[in-house]
Structure 1
Amino acid sequence: MKDIITLIRPKQWIKNIFVIFPIFFGHNIYDLKTWGNIAILFLAFSLAASTVYVFNDLCDKEIDKLHPEKKNRPIACGSISNNQAQLIIVSLMVLSGSLLFALGLPKGLYAGYCIICYLIINIIYSLWGKHQPVLDAFFVASGFLLRVISGCLVASIVASHWLFLMVFFVSLLLAFGKRLEDLLIAEDKKGEQSTRPVVKFYSSQFLFATLTLISAILLVLYTLYCVDSESIELHGKYLYTTIPIVSLGIIYYLRRVIVDRKYCNPTDLIFKDHGLQAIIICWIIQFYIISYVIA
């Protein structure tokens, strides 16, 4: 059981929090029925994501053996066989699909379409996309975008176009941050074969510049979102006061990555860096007060 839990990587389920974004930004957090539907969607997407993780581990079995950490994954180290992994994939897909029936029609159907698209995109990514420089990051970003779209459909919310753009670039930040982590690991191995072959098409200078560019675009998008007339109508006229703390979070992340070369993977940064955790919590509190209390 421990090997199965390790294989499906529940720690990574935090990425599926993107399905919650529509109700938070859509000013709909007090609807308990919507929260129930979103919780079901979160779990269904998490199981689908675990399906992708297992499939990807099957595809990368041999190359994972070269990675200092991934070599201990159940499939790479042999504690779970290929046949057992395939059975787990089928089980996860069935469980994910079964949960969607609880959403009823048409929401369950819409969510199902999004999850099927997510699985197809990730199968293509695992077999081909992850070997294509730059395009590999866009494959990853599309998966996060589908999470937000499914959240909008299940919550019956028409999200702002600014939200979709911000999610897309946040997703690119996550993806290129992960590429930087893999590149630094490859450089530490001093010429040995990389555990992610696509990193040979990258350089640390390029990735630092890319992360900086994406961060700048994100800050501009968030600023435009805060001063947009629809956003002001929904969240109140003081939303712009959250821009400084968002700026702090972005600059803090860039310093940790570029100067300290720590937590290049943003997921690890969120879990381990108390400074960024404090910034995120402060932003959530400030956004809630401005949008839900004052407005």
Structure 2
Amino acid sequence: MLHELLISTRPKQWYKNLVLFIGIIFSLNFFNLHMWVLSISAFLTFCMISGSEYIINDIIDKEKDRIHPRKRNRPIASEKLKVSYALSFAIILLIFAFTIASQINIQFLRISLAYFFLIIYYSLYLKHIAIVDVITISIGFVLRAVAGCIAIKVSISPWLIICAFLVALFLAIGKRRHELILLENDANNHRQVFDGFSPEMLEQMATIVMASLIMSYSLYTFLADNILMMVTIPIVVYGLFRYLFLVNSRNMGGEPEVMFKDREIVTCIVLWAVVAIGALVI
């Protein structure tokens, strides 16, 4: 049962919470041990919140997940895990998460609660509204970034917040396109938001978002204190084009984390991190 509970929290998705470390990295507090403790605590808090929300979402969607070729194997949809056990575990995770959040600071607790209720509302209602669903996911991503800054009480460039929003929107649209192609005629039965959508329309939306992201990131580097950040623009452009290639040519948009299995994208991420940190430190 413990194994099924752990799978239901989707630890493979927790990498999304790494955005909480943006604050400590871009504020150049690399050697501030106290801030690292706070950032790691904030990261663990959001991992527990995310895990509990995945469980709650699987409980809500268990009937629809059973018609999905991949999601029907999830512990709750496949009835390997009882709903009562799953819900109890989710509540325990939330108690631990909000207790830790309250110890970090009251502002962090508030944004953690805001994030939790936003995603719950998304699971119950917003995910059934076309376009609003992917925008909500992106807002949740931004709340993570803001929470990481609030945890250590540092400010962050509005441009980075915009970029975080656009990155999440780009990934969400890619995932929707993959689901639409995978489910074919059953797409509307799984998600009502697919009604009226086509792969071509989602491709156009992804193109618009990617162009906006490149422009926003470029403006951020132009306005940064260290103009050397402009060196990272080609790296970002290549990474985005490579991901778009994987989504369209190899149909790998179903789970954005598959990009970590692509050698070119992993190399791109590592290179961007090294160059960006180097530019900020100089």
TM range (shorter): over 0.9
Pairwise mapping of residues 50-129 of structure 1 onto structure 2 (< 5 A)? Answer: 50-103=51-104, 107=105, 109-129=106-126
Which of 146, 150, 153 lines up with 2:150 in the alignment?
Answer: 153
**Counterparts of 1:38 and 1:268 in 2: how far apart (Å)?**
22
Corresponding position of 1:225: 220
Which of 244, 247, 253 lines up with 1:254 in the alignment?
Answer: 244
Which of 263, 266, 274 lines up with 2:252 in the alignment?
Answer: 263
**Counterparts of 2:246 and 2:174 in 1: how far apart (Å)?**
11
Alpha-carbon distance change, 191 to 55 in structure 1, aligned in 2, over 3 angstroms: closer
Pairwise mapping of residues 188-207 of structure 1 onto structure 2 (< 5 A)? Answer: 190-191=185-186, 194-207=189-202
| Deviating 4+ runs (over 6 angstroms) | none
Structure 1 residue 50 displacement after superposition: 0.9
> What amino acid is aligned across from residue 16 of structure 1 in structure 2?
N
Which of 170, 176, 180 lines up with 1:179 in the alignment?
Answer: 176
Structure 1 residue ranges without an equivalent (≥5): none
Structure 1 residue 24 displacement after superposition: 1.5
Corresponding position of 1:216: 211
> What amino acid is aligned across from residue 154 of structure 2 in structure 1?
I
Alpha-carbon distance change, 201 to 23 in structure 1, aligned in 2, over 3 angstroms: farther
> What amino acid is aligned across from residue 36 of structure 1 in structure 2?
V
**Counterparts of 2:182 and 2:159 in 1: how far apart (Å)?**
35
Conserved 8 A contact 1:19-1:148? yes
- Kindly provide the CA deviation profile for residues 198-224 of structure 1, in whole angstroms up to 9, marking residues without a partner as x: 222321001111111111111101110
Alpha-carbon distance change, 278 to 210 in structure 1, aligned in 2, over 3 angstroms: same
**Counterparts of 1:115 and 1:61 in 2: how far apart (Å)?**
26
Conserved 8 A contact 1:182-1:199? no
Conserved 8 A contact 2:187-2:194? no
- Kindly provide the CA deviation profile for residues 212-244 of structure 1, in whole angstroms up to 9, marking residues without a partner as x: 11111111011101110xx12xxx231111111
**Counterparts of 2:130 and 2:150 in 1: how far apart (Å)?**
32
Aligned length: 281
Corresponding position of 2:262: 273
> What amino acid is aligned across from residue 59 of structure 1 in structure 2?
I
Identity rate, percent: 30
Conserved 8 A contact 1:19-1:147? yes
The alignment yields a C-alpha RMSD, in angstroms, of 1.5
- Kindly provide the CA deviation profile for residues 172-223 of structure 1, in whole angstroms up to 9, marking residues without a partner as x: 1121122112111112xx4576423322232100111111111111110111
Structure 1 residue 101 displacement after superposition: 4.2
Alpha-carbon distance change, 238 to 266 in structure 1, aligned in 2, over 3 angstroms: farther
- Kindly provide the CA deviation profile for residues 75-128 of structure 1, in whole angstroms up to 9, marking residues without a partner as x: 11111112112211211111111222442xxx2x11111111111111111111
**Counterparts of 1:240 and 1:123 in 2: how far apart (Å)?**
39
Structure 1 residue 129 displacement after superposition: 0.5
Structure 2 residue ranges without an equivalent (≥5): none
> What amino acid is aligned across from residue 262 of structure 1 in structure 2?
N
What TM-score do you get using the length of structure 1 for normalisation?
0.91
What TM-score do you get using the length of structure 2 for normalisation?
0.95
**Counterparts of 1:15 and 1:191 in 2: how far apart (Å)?**
28
**Counterparts of 2:143 and 2:166 in 1: how far apart (Å)?**
14
